[in-house]
Every structure is written in structure tokens, then in C-alpha cells.
Chains A and B, each alone.
Chain A
Amino acid sequence: MEQREIVVIGGGPAGLSAALQAAHSGARVTIIEGEKRLGGQLIKQTHMFFGSHKQHAGTRGIDIATLLENELRALPNVEIILGATVLGYYYEDGALTIEDHEAFRLMIPKRLIVASGASEKFLAFPNNDLPGVYGAGAVQTLMNVYGVKPAQRVLMIGAGNIGLIVSYQLLQAGVEVAAVLEAAPQISGYLVHASKILRLGVPILTRHSIKEALGKHTVEGAIIHRLDDRWQPVPHSEQQITCDTICLAVGLSPLCDLLWQAGCAMQYIAELGGYVALRDEGMQTSVPGIYVAGDAAGVEEASAAMVEGSLAGLSAALSLGYNSPADEELTAELRQQLDDLRAGPGGAKIRSGLEKLHPTADNPKEVT
């Protein structure tokens, strides 16, 4: 049984920021990442981030991952465990079970920060199990991490930011994008991303969806159709598209299995991607000592994930007695950064989701 002070699960933007902040506060931090490298989804993001300089706006996601990792590796009070999977959390004694290179480890942290990220949502249509139907993140991994050309011609489903950005990245990698379909009446991602692909001649078809995938052993095409204003298929509106890949960018769901196991109070909030843990303003869940940050706390942009991570890391360190006179100011600044990121029409969905979140029993949500 290994004892630890703060364990952070997940080495993406939220987990890295949580570990950095907690370590800067003076706590001893262990970060556990399932992949062989840190960075999470940042390592696939070739586009420059928006927001403010505090969240590295103007820097490409992949470079942000390197910045955060270098900063973390320079700290003596940080332990980094890569290629290890946290299998479970046992609330009876607060133990984590971990598979680390075919060995089994038991770890008891004083504080736990869950930054496990999200998984891709799926879509129901005939033949959706054919090889060639890929999540948008998978296509990004192939081309941006491994430098493998993912396809010749892609049909993209979903015109949110991920669908739009990945379409642009596909064009950069020399892949044809047949069309981007969006079931909603309007493009839901940022128009700056939509304009980039529209200028390159890719049609974005709103009120359209996929009816079925075609092919025997792999994808050879798709039938698409138009939807009416009640989201029902319009008869005789079918069109056949030739493509070897159908890319699904229809949203993400928080990965919160460990939070369920820990007995955290959970709530279903569609705007946040599914079930999320109730938490206070310091990102502590209803179970004292367990914190949540990033997509695991509700699907949002990486910039917000980094700020949530910092908040969680700060509160976890504070609760262990690692405090400094600047903490109050830092907390206020981080909360302000979150408010700024969620301001404006782009943050409307997140704001509406967060408003529905019940206050935690021990920590009533402050009305601001």
C-alpha cells in the first residue's frame, strides 16, 4: 500500500494544470496518465488557442502540452507515472487500484483530483460499426500524433468546434472532405473555424444527417438526408456520398466512472455532455477530499479545463494546509478567468448547464 499526498488522475490540460498548481503550492503530487506521454488531447491540437494569454492564447495546443510538461518536470515534488491505468477507487479505505506495466499497485492518496477527460459519443445508423467510422479524435490521433494519412475522402458528421477544426486539419493533411453535416439549423462551432473550411470549398450542410453507411468490410460511402424543423428525415431528400471514412464529431461524454465508484453525487446535464459530479467553487465533489476538473467535470474547451485544474489543485493543496497569502487573490483571479472564458454567446451552453447543477450539500453554491 503506497501513501501519497495528492494524486491527479489524467495528464491532459486539466490534470497537468492541477498538478502544477498543487505542486507550486508546496504539496507532493503524483500524476497518473494512461498514455505513454503527457498532454492528453492537447498533443493533437495543431490550431492556436483563443481566450487570454493566461491560457496560452495564440499558442498551438501541442506546444501548450510541452510547456506544461516542462514546467511540471522541473518541480522536485512531482511524481509522474505514465502508461498506468487507474482501475478503481474504493471508498471504504480511499484506495486506488492501478495497473502499471502489468503490475498491480494500491495507492492511498490524501486528496484525489479526477481529471480523466471524456469519451466520444456515438451515433445510431445502419452499418455504424463498419471499419472507417471513426471518432473525430481518432482521426486526429492518426494524422497529428502518428503522421498517418487517415483517409482519402471523409464525410464529417457534426459542425461543432471539433468537427470544424478536424475538417480543417484533414485538409492540411491532404485529405478530401466531402461535406460536413450538422443536424441543427445552424453551425454550432465558432464561425472563424467554419469560414476556414468554407473558403476551401467544403460544403457545410445544416439540417442534414447520415441515414446509413455503405460498404461490406470497410466504409465505401454514405447515404445522407435532410431533416425538417422537427428533426425528422425529409422524404426523398437522400443523397449518396462517396467516401472511405465517416468521422463522428457529435460530442463527448465526461468519463466519470471513478467518481461514481467513489459515491460522488452526480447529476445528468445534457449541456455538459452527460452525468457530472456536483462540486463547490473549489471543484471539490460531494465526497470530501475528491476533486474534479476538465472534461470529466463537464465537456468544455481545453482553456477552461486548465483553469478548472488550477482551481482544483489550489483547493486540494489548501485543504492540506499548504497556504500562502496570495491564495485568496489567485482563487478570485482563476474564477474570473473562468467567467471570462464562459462569457458571450460561445459560453451560453456551458453557462446554462452550470446553472442547472445542484449545490453540493456541504458546500452550497455561492450566488454571485
Chain B
Amino acid sequence: MRPGLRRNPLPALAAALGLAAFYALAASATPGRALGAFFLGPFSSAYSFLSLLDQASPLLLCALGAAVAFRSGAFNLGGEGQAALGALSAALVLGAGGRAGLAGGAAPLFLLALALLAAAAAGALLALLSALGERLAGAEVLLTSFLLSQAAVIGVDWAVAGPLRDPASNLLAMPALPRELLLPRVAPPAPLNAGVFVSLALCLAAAFLLGRTRAGYELDLRGESPAFARAQRLSPSLSVWPLALSGGLHGLAGALLVAGAAGRAVKGMTGGIGWNGISVALVAGANPLAALPASVFFAWLDAGARSASILADLSPDASAVMKAAVLFLVTADLRLLAPRRRGNAAREAPADAAPAADAADPAAAADPAAAADPAAKGGAR
């Protein structure tokens, strides 16, 4: 992972909350009420808090997927399509099981496992295409993953709202799945379901993989320096399996959406979860364990905006702007602001403006202060 991507995320998070407060004060006719609804609404009852966690659970999976790709040195921008394909696959498996009358005994558990597997496989397959495109032809993953994902989203939307649509429903959606085939709820009627245990288990597993295994160590080596990894003859599959794993995690997230509160595949149901996963992974510095609180934070922004739109007069879309603000600042080095004079002086003096180690990294090249300061790289780890 490029060193410039790891920075202290707290200023970015504080800025998002500041923006939220400013928006509530500026745009609402009842600012006090809006503020309360935004910040405290999601925690006002067990039900709303469990809904927030229900939103965070698939987001955490996407963040883990994005983090694995980051650590291996790749940008997987196809999370959206991988999640959509996963959602469709899960809906197809569960739907077929439901029609076959497999709703009793141990069958639901088996079917659910099968649906999660199918979803992970579908997401992994889509990401694998990009990985192979890079490995065999040198086509940039960050472009092909986005393009294939865009095609997949369009294809899934077409299928869900077209040939697979439930004709009896007004929704652009596939038929509702039988209740017995959905992930069981942890504390009915709150929407949080057993999928959260899948997310938590995979969060621990990813932390173990990246932090405690040889494969994770090699993956980090490649992420820090692909050339070094090549010189060390590290397994060439390092450019392939981390991306497939990333796609699989996104696919699983799609399955959680279908087999969770929605209970069916709905057109456009991924709703930006792939992009949010990238933001969460960046906030977490691609650390799986840090992705847990980071995904809850992002879910809080969404839940807060929703709550402020119901209990007060704000727009539920406001959270999109706050999330963008986080992304604008999350890799910023705010120390560049403080010693502004010295920074400029250093820039003028060629001796001080140490050439950035990696000329292909424009951010690092634009940032002589950080390049000259070894603590900036080491400290962010």
C-alpha cells in the first residue's frame, strides 16, 4: 500500500461531523431538533442502534475487501458491481431453494451457506477478470475493475427489473424470499441479522491473514514495492488472489443485503456500498480491525442523516456530502498547513526538496515535506 494513503484519519472524521453540525444549524428551521436527530437519533433506541449495526455489517465486508486489495498494492474500484453480482447470485440460489420447497429442517441453513458461497464466488470471479487482465496483458486493475463493475451493475439492474422481476409487485425487484430462508434476526423486530457474525468473523480472519501469516506478509511486501516482490521471486499469484478475495468479500456483502432486511433483490440495492467500502478502508488505514469502528462511523453518518430527515427537515442525502468530505481529507497531511512559510522555503531550495522516492506517485512527489520526513512514513504505520 502506498505510504501516502496511511494518515491520521481523525481530522477527516472531525471535519465530517463539523459539516453535519453546520448543515443542521444552517439548513434546518429547527436546528436544535435536527442536531439531536442527527447525532443522537441512531442511538435513541435499541431498534435504531441495531439498524445502524445492520448497515455497518455489509459495509464492513466491503471495507475488508478494499483493504485486502490496497495492501496488495491494487485499487479495486469494482466493489459496486461485485456486490451487485453477489446479491443477484444469492437471490437466485435462495429463490430456487424456496421454489423447490426447501424451507424445513436443516435445509435453510444449507441453502443460506450455499447462497453466501455463490455470492462470494460471483464477486470473486468478476474481480478475477481484472486481475487476469493485469497479469496477462498489463491492463490497469483500477480501470478494468471499474468498467466491468459498471457493466455488471447495469446487467444486474436489467435482470432484477426485467426478466427476473416479480410481476405481482410494484417494486423493481425479484420475488420476496420465504422468511425461513433469510438470515435469522438477532433481536427481532430489529433488522440486525446473523450476517453480522459472518462480518465479524471475517474481520478477525482478515486481521489474522494480513497480520499473522506469511501470505499476508508477502502481500504487504508486494503492496509496498511490486519491484522488490518480483526481485525476491515472491509468488506471482500475489497479483491475483488478493483481488479475487477482495471481490469475494464484496460479493458476500451483496448476499447479506439480499438475505437480510430487504429479503429480496431490489434494483439499485447496492447503493454505493462499494465506494463507501473504499472510504472506510482508507479511514482504517487498510487495517481490518480498525475497519470495524470505521464502518460503524460511516453507517452512523447515513443513519444520522436519515434520522434527521424523519425527525426534522434535513435531507437524507446530506450524508453523501459528509462522506465525500471525509475522503477529501483522509489522506491529507494537515501538518502541511501549519508551517506554511517553511514549507514554501523548502520547496524553493533544491537541496531540501528531496526527490520523492517514488516518482510514479504524484502525491508523494507533490509533498516534499513528507518525503523528507521519515517519521511521516513510519509514524503512520
Q: Do A and B bind each other?
A: no
Give A contacts to B, CB under 8 Å. Answer: none
Give B contacts to A, CB under 8 Å. Answer: none
